[in-house]
Amino acid sequence: MFLPHTPDGRYFVHIGKAGPRLWRATNPDLTTECKEQLTRELMQARRQVRSAKTEEKLRQARAAVDRAKRALGERGPPWWSDGAPDYNRVLVKNSPYAAWWDGRGVEP
């Protein structure tokens, strides 16, 4: 599935029930090998969330998902260093990317 990225590469746009929303993209400075390893860890942790049979196992699995997403740069402090604010999970229409999105001719 193609998910459009903002011109600066910081976010991809996911179209949900509430409308198009920005989600922080993976840190582009990660090496291919590192990104692949962290993605494998993330997928494994997500499988553990689905198969968790106890609250403790679920808590551990969710913590593993969070660790992987933080290492990928998708959560936690922004991976860019220019001081720009983070619009992660913000509706595109409520962000500085609204004009860019509207100009793409994409129907939400």
pLDDT tens profile 64-107: 999 999 999 999 999 999 999 999 999 999 999 999 999 875 54
User: How many structural domains are present in the chain?
Assistant: 2
Residue 79: inside a domain? no
DSSP 6-61: -TTSSEEEEEETTEEEEEEPPPTTS-HHHHHHHHHHHHHHHHHHHH--SHHHHHHH
21 and 41 housed in the same domain:
no
Say yes or no: 67 and 32 in one domain: yes
| Mean pLDDT, residues 11-23 taken together | 94
Q: What is the mean pLDDT of residues 48-56?
A: 97
Same domain, 60 and 97: no
Q: Which domain holds residue 12?
A: 1-25+85-108
pLDDT at residue 108 tops 50: no
Q: Give residues with Cβ within 8 angstroms of 6, minimum separation 6.
A: 12, 13, 22, 97, 100
- Domain identity same for 65 and 97: no
